[in-house]
A = this chain, B = another copy of it.
C-alpha cells in the first residue's frame, strides 16, 4: 500500500512516499481504507525529533483518520464492511495514519458524522477530542457557566468555542483582529483582540479558562477565574510552577492531554450532525505531498486544519 515514512529525523523533506505491506488487523480490530488523514502540530514535532514519542525512525506518522471499513475481523460486532468511520487510533503510540490502510481497535473508532465529508471528519479527532476531554470530561462545563477560550480561532480553540456554546456556556474568546469575525461566527458571545487589548481587563469571575497558547497566558489567567474556578491548559500541563500558583490562589488546575475514546468521538459526531460543530479545513493536499503539509503547518501562517487526501 502507499504510505509516507521517514528514515531519519529532520526537515519536512525526510517525509517520503514508500510502499509498505497492508497491515493485518488483529482480533477486535478492523482494517480501514483511509480516505483522509489530518496533519497536527505534534506530527511535525515527532518528525523533526523535537518530541521523540515514537522512538527512532523509520516510522509512519499520523493519527487522525476518516475512511471506510474494508475488513472486519470475525468477532467484531460494532462495524460492518463499508461503514464510514473516523478516529485517532493508538495515540500517543504509533498510529501509522499517513497510509492507505490502517488496522484499528474497533473501540477506538466511531461512525463518521454523516453531514460532513472525509476531509472534514479527519480534521476532527485529535483537536476535537482534546477540546472535548478538556471542557467536558475534565471541566464538565454546564449551562450558564462563564468560559474563556484562549486563541478561539486556533485548531483546538475553534472547536472549543463551539463545544462550550453547545454545552450552554457563556463564551468569551481571545483572537487576533483578523480572526474576530471567524470566532464570532462560531458562536462566541464576546471576542477580545489579544493584541490590542488586555484580556484581564475585559473578563473576570470566570468558571473555566482553557489555555491553548501557553507562555504568560496561563499565569495571567489565574486572576480572571472566580475562586474555585478551573484553569485548563493543553500546553503547560507539566508546568508545576503554574499549577502551584493556581492552587495557592484558590483556583483549580488541570493539564489535559488527549486519548482515543469512542464515547467522545460519538459525542462529537452527534454535535456535527446537529449542526452545532464544524471543523475548519484550510488546505487539502494529496498524501504524497505530506512534506508540503508539514512546511505549511510549521510556517505558523495556517488558520485551519491541513488534511491529506489518500
Binding site for B on A (CB under 8 A): 26-29, 53, 73-78, 91-93, 105-107, 133, 137-138, 234, 237-238, 254-261, 263
- Please indicate the chain B residues that have their CB under 8 angstroms from the CB of A259 in the complex: 28, 105-107
- Given A107-B261, A261-B107, A263-B263, A75–B256 Cβ distance below 8 Å? yes
Q: Which residue of B lies closest to A257 (CB)?
A: B75
Taken together as a complex, chains A and B put the C-alpha atoms of A257 and B72 apart, in Å, by: 12
6 contacts between A and B (CB under 8 A): A26-B53, A27-B53, A28-B91, A74-B237, A77-B255, A107-B261
Collect the chain B residues with CB atoms within 8 Å of residue A256's CB.
Answer: 75, 77
A77 touching B28 in the complex, CB below 8 Å, given contacts A106-B259, A261-B107: no
Contact present for B107 and A260 (CB under 8 Å): yes
Q: Which of A74, A254, A263 counts the most B-chain CB atoms under 10 A from its CB?
A: A74
A270 to B304, CA, bound (A): 42
- Tell me whether B137 and A77 are in contact (CB under 8 A): yes
Contact of A257 among B76, B91, B255 (CB under 8 A): B76
